[in-house]
Structure 1
């Protein structure tokens, strides 16, 4: 797994995400230095992300959750109404007003769609403003799992090593996340898409 991209200084704070990443790291008994080594970045960068000084890009956030072996949904703090214990055959319910959103580098936002724990599956919505990319440079990246996405509105471009795919409203795509790829919005309006990332074995 690699995610060769950068983070940028935050001008619009991303409440709670950095602190949540720090909590997840500590719960797993991993030091900031060990996480930094796993990601190929400095310990200082980890500290700045956890303190909310830097906003991680999409690929950096995914690389962190992969390194911690936690689902992407772990960074969201979405209250959930549970009528009955889902583990006992009940169901989980998330009202629209409870939807949790995080803002990342380049103004990309992620919104959690899964109403409760969904082991092995991340289900979320992404919004890429015009010109926004999954990370700060032109390199392709890879991560864990298998990805399935559907564009709801706008236009989203997926670059692979030898081809480029432009997705418009109603278009869908799937690919192993181990295949080097890059998502970006080359259009003139926000690109909204819904995604499933499946993590076999988790």
Structure 2
């Protein structure tokens, strides 16, 4: 996962999350209640003081009713409407660095209704946890590990995927994705289909 752009800073990510929240008409307190955190914590995320984890970011966009791709840029939907096709070069999309050093990078050139297509990079020991519990969100997930090894813990099973292995499951099935290696990073591509 290489890019000429650095990962979005905490400040830029926070500002984008605040813009999305305000665009949906949600108050900070209302969103905090849905996320099960304090309004102060939401404010700290939106000011770039706290960097959200993977699970917190997914919970944030789910509570707002917007796709994960909306976090990456605001003008892409208009661009899609104005052109018969869209191209975005790899150096044009900065990844988002989340808590634990996990990086997300949108792979689709513009947001596509009902689909999320992205790449995730998990440094050694990183996990997309639900803050002490398994993660749930909307959609149906399809993933392929392209480098390293990822472990997915479900409520009743554990699956380990090596490079080239794929998996699919409903996102509302409780799960936790982790790189259990102490030395090697893991990279995967994901397609999430929304109803």
**How far is the alpha carbon of 1:163 from its aligned partner?**
1.1
The unaligned stretches of length 5 or more in structure 1 are: 1-11
TM-score for the superposition, normalised by structure 2:
0.89
1:29-178 correspondence runs (5 A): 29-77=25-73, 86-87=80-81, 90-135=84-129, 137-178=131-172
Query: Deviation of residue 100 (structure 1)?
Result: 2.2
Question: Given the superposition, is the C-alpha separation of residues 96 and 79 from structure 1 closer, same or farther in structure 2, using an over 3 Å criterion?
Answer: farther
Deviation string 1:151-200 (CA, Å, 9 cap, x unpaired) is 00000000001111001100000100010000010023110000011111
More helix by share: 2
CA RMSD of aligned residues (A): 2.0
Give the 5 Å matches for 1:181-192.
181-187=175-181, 188-192=183-187
Secondary structure at 1:92 match in 2: coil
- Is 185-194 or 127-136 further displaced after alignment? 127-136
Matched, 1:198 2:193: yes
What is the alpha-carbon distance in structure 2 between the residues aligned to residue 142 and residue 87 of structure 1? 32
Q: Which runs of 5+ in 2 are unaligned?
A: 1-7
Once residues 22 and 50 of structure 1 are traced to their aligned partners in structure 2, the CA distance between those partners, rounded to angstroms, is: 5
Q: CA deviation at 1:14?
A: 2.3
Partner of 1:180: 174
TM-score (norm 1): 0.86
Q: Aligned pairs, how many?
A: 186
Q: CA deviation at 1:36?
A: 0.4
